Homo-oligomer: A and B are copies of this chain.
Amino acid sequence: MRPSRRAPDELRAVSLERGVVKYAEGSCMVKFGDTHVLVTATLEERLPPWLKGQGRGWVTAEYGMLPRATLERTRREASAGKQGGRTVEIQRLIGRSLRAAVDLEALGERQITVDCDVIQADGGTRTASITGAWVALADCIGWMKARNMIKTSVLRDNVAAVSCGIYNGTPVLDLDYAEDSEADTDANFVMTGDGRIIEVQGTAEKTPFSQDEFLALLALAKKGVARLVDLQKMAVA
Protein backbone atom coordinates (compact mmCIF):
# COMPACT_ATOMS: atom_id res chain seq x y z
CA MET A 1 0.00 0.00 0.00
CA ARG A 2 1.38 3.40 -1.01
CA PRO A 3 1.36 6.11 1.70
CA SER A 4 -1.06 8.11 -0.45
CA ARG A 5 -3.27 5.04 -1.00
CA ARG A 6 -2.81 5.46 -4.76
CA ALA A 7 -2.77 2.41 -7.08
CA PRO A 8 0.75 1.52 -8.31
CA ASP A 9 0.04 3.02 -11.73
CA GLU A 10 -1.86 6.09 -10.49
CA LEU A 11 -0.58 9.64 -10.92
CA ARG A 12 -1.18 12.24 -8.27
CA ALA A 13 -3.85 14.84 -9.05
CA VAL A 14 -2.26 16.89 -11.85
CA SER A 15 -3.23 20.40 -12.89
CA LEU A 16 -1.75 22.67 -15.53
CA GLU A 17 -2.95 26.27 -15.25
CA ARG A 18 -1.91 28.66 -18.02
CA GLY A 19 -1.44 32.41 -18.03
CA VAL A 20 -0.67 32.71 -14.35
CA VAL A 21 1.61 35.72 -14.53
CA LYS A 22 1.12 38.97 -16.33
CA TYR A 23 4.31 39.64 -18.24
CA ALA A 24 5.69 36.32 -19.51
CA GLU A 25 5.09 35.23 -23.11
CA GLY A 26 4.07 31.85 -21.69
CA SER A 27 3.45 30.58 -18.17
CA CYS A 28 2.05 27.60 -16.33
CA MET A 29 1.42 26.71 -12.71
CA VAL A 30 1.87 22.95 -12.66
CA LYS A 31 0.77 20.83 -9.71
CA PHE A 32 1.55 17.15 -9.21
CA GLY A 33 -0.28 16.72 -5.91
CA ASP A 34 1.48 18.91 -3.33
CA THR A 35 4.37 19.67 -5.67
CA HIS A 36 3.73 23.10 -7.17
CA VAL A 37 5.99 24.72 -9.75
CA LEU A 38 5.55 28.10 -11.40
CA VAL A 39 6.98 28.03 -14.92
CA THR A 40 7.47 31.03 -17.18
CA ALA A 41 8.76 31.17 -20.75
CA THR A 42 10.59 34.31 -21.83
CA LEU A 43 11.31 35.16 -25.45
CA GLU A 44 14.38 37.26 -26.12
CA GLU A 45 15.86 38.48 -29.39
CA ARG A 46 19.35 37.46 -28.40
CA LEU A 47 21.46 34.30 -28.31
CA PRO A 48 24.35 32.88 -26.34
CA PRO A 49 27.58 34.09 -28.03
CA TRP A 50 28.61 30.64 -29.26
CA LEU A 51 25.37 30.29 -31.26
CA LYS A 52 25.29 33.60 -33.08
CA GLY A 53 24.98 33.70 -36.83
CA GLN A 54 24.08 30.04 -37.33
CA GLY A 55 20.46 30.58 -38.26
CA ARG A 56 19.24 28.67 -35.22
CA GLY A 57 17.61 29.59 -31.94
CA TRP A 58 18.03 28.19 -28.46
CA VAL A 59 15.89 26.97 -25.58
CA THR A 60 17.38 26.95 -22.13
CA ALA A 61 16.07 26.50 -18.59
CA GLU A 62 16.74 27.67 -15.08
CA TYR A 63 15.44 26.03 -11.92
CA GLY A 64 15.10 27.28 -8.39
CA MET A 65 13.31 26.52 -5.16
CA LEU A 66 11.81 29.09 -2.85
CA PRO A 67 13.58 28.64 0.49
CA ARG A 68 10.50 27.34 2.28
CA ALA A 69 9.23 25.09 -0.50
CA THR A 70 10.66 22.33 1.66
CA LEU A 71 9.85 20.86 5.07
CA GLU A 72 12.92 22.51 6.56
CA ARG A 73 14.01 25.87 5.16
CA THR A 74 16.63 25.46 2.43
CA ARG A 75 19.30 28.13 2.11
CA ARG A 76 18.58 30.63 -0.68
CA GLU A 77 21.06 30.00 -3.48
CA ALA A 78 21.33 33.72 -4.31
CA SER A 79 22.50 34.28 -0.76
CA ALA A 80 24.84 31.26 -0.77
CA GLY A 81 26.42 32.78 -3.88
CA LYS A 82 26.02 29.81 -6.16
CA GLN A 83 23.63 27.25 -7.51
CA GLY A 84 24.07 23.82 -5.98
CA GLY A 85 24.93 20.67 -7.91
CA ARG A 86 21.36 19.38 -7.81
CA THR A 87 20.02 22.64 -9.25
CA VAL A 88 22.55 22.65 -12.07
CA GLU A 89 21.80 19.03 -12.90
CA ILE A 90 18.05 19.64 -13.01
CA GLN A 91 18.13 22.77 -15.12
CA ARG A 92 20.38 21.11 -17.66
CA LEU A 93 17.93 18.20 -17.85
CA ILE A 94 14.95 20.51 -18.40
CA GLY A 95 16.75 22.41 -21.16
CA ARG A 96 17.85 19.26 -23.00
CA SER A 97 14.38 17.74 -22.71
CA LEU A 98 12.64 20.72 -24.26
CA ARG A 99 15.17 21.19 -27.04
CA ALA A 100 14.54 17.61 -28.18
CA ALA A 101 11.03 18.67 -29.25
CA VAL A 102 11.83 22.07 -30.74
CA ASP A 103 12.85 22.81 -34.32
CA LEU A 104 15.60 25.31 -33.52
CA GLU A 105 15.98 26.41 -37.14
CA ALA A 106 12.27 27.20 -37.35
CA LEU A 107 12.55 29.21 -34.12
CA GLY A 108 15.03 31.58 -35.77
CA GLU A 109 17.82 33.44 -34.02
CA ARG A 110 16.00 33.89 -30.72
CA GLN A 111 16.25 32.41 -27.25
CA ILE A 112 13.45 31.12 -25.07
CA THR A 113 14.34 30.84 -21.39
CA VAL A 114 12.14 28.67 -19.25
CA ASP A 115 12.21 29.43 -15.52
CA CYS A 116 10.93 26.73 -13.20
CA ASP A 117 10.49 27.94 -9.63
CA VAL A 118 9.30 25.45 -7.07
CA ILE A 119 6.73 27.00 -4.76
CA GLN A 120 6.14 23.79 -2.81
CA ALA A 121 8.05 20.51 -3.05
CA ASP A 122 6.65 17.04 -2.38
CA GLY A 123 8.78 14.88 -4.68
CA GLY A 124 9.02 14.91 -8.46
CA THR A 125 9.85 18.60 -8.89
CA ARG A 126 11.94 17.96 -12.00
CA THR A 127 9.29 15.89 -13.76
CA ALA A 128 6.55 18.36 -12.86
CA SER A 129 8.81 21.17 -14.11
CA ILE A 130 9.34 19.52 -17.49
CA THR A 131 5.66 18.74 -17.91
CA GLY A 132 4.65 22.30 -17.07
CA ALA A 133 7.52 23.79 -19.03
CA TRP A 134 6.19 22.28 -22.22
CA VAL A 135 2.89 24.11 -21.66
CA ALA A 136 4.61 27.44 -21.03
CA LEU A 137 6.79 26.88 -24.07
CA ALA A 138 3.76 26.05 -26.21
CA ASP A 139 2.11 29.26 -25.06
CA CYS A 140 5.21 31.27 -25.85
CA ILE A 141 5.31 29.81 -29.33
CA GLY A 142 1.61 30.53 -29.73
CA TRP A 143 2.35 34.13 -28.74
CA MET A 144 4.95 34.29 -31.51
CA LYS A 145 2.59 32.77 -34.08
CA ALA A 146 -0.09 35.31 -33.21
CA ARG A 147 2.47 38.01 -34.09
CA ASN A 148 3.60 36.27 -37.31
CA MET A 149 7.12 35.87 -35.95
CA ILE A 150 7.34 32.26 -37.08
CA LYS A 151 5.86 30.48 -40.05
CA THR A 152 6.38 26.76 -39.88
CA SER A 153 5.70 24.58 -36.93
CA VAL A 154 8.30 24.93 -34.18
CA LEU A 155 7.13 22.35 -31.67
CA ARG A 156 7.55 18.87 -33.06
CA ASP A 157 5.74 16.98 -30.31
CA ASN A 158 4.67 17.08 -26.68
CA VAL A 159 7.24 16.47 -23.96
CA ALA A 160 6.27 15.23 -20.52
CA ALA A 161 8.08 13.52 -17.68
CA VAL A 162 7.33 11.32 -14.73
CA SER A 163 9.26 9.47 -12.08
CA CYS A 164 8.89 5.79 -11.24
CA GLY A 165 10.45 3.72 -8.54
CA ILE A 166 10.44 0.48 -6.67
CA TYR A 167 8.71 1.07 -3.35
CA ASN A 168 8.48 -1.81 -0.90
CA GLY A 169 9.28 -4.16 -3.75
CA THR A 170 6.54 -2.88 -6.04
CA PRO A 171 7.08 -0.69 -9.10
CA VAL A 172 5.03 2.49 -8.65
CA LEU A 173 4.34 5.61 -10.72
CA ASP A 174 4.92 9.27 -9.78
CA LEU A 175 6.64 9.06 -6.41
CA ASP A 176 5.83 11.62 -3.76
CA TYR A 177 8.36 12.63 -1.13
CA ALA A 178 7.29 9.93 1.33
CA GLU A 179 7.89 7.26 -1.29
CA ASP A 180 10.95 8.85 -2.84
CA SER A 181 12.85 8.97 0.43
CA GLU A 182 12.16 5.26 1.00
CA ALA A 183 12.46 3.89 -2.54
CA ASP A 184 15.26 1.49 -3.45
CA THR A 185 15.37 2.74 -7.00
CA ASP A 186 14.27 5.93 -8.64
CA ALA A 187 14.06 6.69 -12.35
CA ASN A 188 12.93 9.74 -14.26
CA PHE A 189 11.60 9.35 -17.78
CA VAL A 190 11.17 12.17 -20.25
CA MET A 191 9.15 11.11 -23.27
CA THR A 192 7.46 12.53 -26.34
CA GLY A 193 3.77 12.47 -27.20
CA ASP A 194 4.37 9.53 -29.52
CA GLY A 195 5.97 7.43 -26.76
CA ARG A 196 9.63 7.76 -27.65
CA ILE A 197 12.28 8.38 -25.05
CA ILE A 198 14.08 11.71 -24.73
CA GLU A 199 15.87 11.08 -21.50
CA VAL A 200 16.09 8.25 -19.00
CA GLN A 201 17.79 8.67 -15.67
CA GLY A 202 17.68 5.64 -13.44
CA THR A 203 19.55 5.59 -10.15
CA ALA A 204 19.98 2.92 -7.52
CA GLU A 205 21.40 4.53 -4.38
CA LYS A 206 20.71 1.39 -2.34
CA THR A 207 20.24 -1.80 -4.35
CA PRO A 208 21.14 -2.13 -8.04
CA PHE A 209 18.17 -3.20 -10.12
CA SER A 210 17.66 -5.86 -12.73
CA GLN A 211 16.75 -5.35 -16.36
CA ASP A 212 13.25 -6.69 -15.66
CA GLU A 213 12.69 -4.18 -12.90
CA PHE A 214 13.84 -1.44 -15.20
CA LEU A 215 11.43 -2.54 -17.90
CA ALA A 216 8.57 -2.53 -15.40
CA LEU A 217 9.39 1.07 -14.56
CA LEU A 218 9.55 1.98 -18.22
CA ALA A 219 6.11 0.47 -18.80
CA LEU A 220 4.65 2.51 -15.94
CA ALA A 221 6.33 5.64 -17.25
CA LYS A 222 4.83 5.19 -20.71
CA LYS A 223 1.38 4.98 -19.19
CA GLY A 224 1.96 8.01 -16.98
CA VAL A 225 3.42 10.16 -19.71
CA ALA A 226 0.53 9.29 -22.04
CA ARG A 227 -1.88 10.60 -19.39
CA LEU A 228 0.21 13.74 -18.85
CA VAL A 229 0.30 14.41 -22.58
CA ASP A 230 -3.50 14.17 -22.66
CA LEU A 231 -3.66 16.74 -19.87
CA GLN A 232 -1.23 19.01 -21.75
CA LYS A 233 -3.41 18.79 -24.86
CA MET A 234 -6.50 19.73 -22.88
CA ALA A 235 -4.61 22.60 -21.25
CA VAL A 236 -3.46 24.20 -24.49
CA ALA A 237 -6.60 23.43 -26.48
Contacts and interface: CB of A to CB of B under 8 A. Distances in A.
Interface of A: 21-24, 27, 34, 38, 40, 42, 44, 62, 64, 66-71, 73, 76-83, 85-89, 91-92, 96, 99-101, 113, 115, 117, 119-120, 122, 157, 187, 191-192, 195-211, 214, 218, 222
A191 B208 contact: yes
A204 B199 contact: yes
A208 B197 contact: yes
A85 B86 CA distance: 10
Q: Which of A73, A113, A201 has the most CB of B within 10 A?
A: A73
Contacts of A197: 202, 204, 208-211, 214
18 contacts: A21-B69, A21-B120, A22-B120, A22-B122, A23-B71, A27-B68, A38-B66, A62-B67, A62-B76, A66-B117, A78-B83, A157-B208, A187-B200, A196-B210, A197-B208, A197-B211, A198-B208, A200-B201
B21 A68 contact: yes
Contacts of A77: 78
A70 B23 contact: yes
A206 B196 CA distance: 12
B100 A76 contact: no
Nearest to A157: B208
Contacts of A202: 197, 199-201
Contact of A120 (B23, B44, B101): B23
Contacts of A99: 205
Given A76-B62, A199-B203, A203-B199, A22 B42 contact: no
Contacts of A191: 208
A70 to B, nearest CB: 7
Contact of A81 (B44, B81, B122): B81
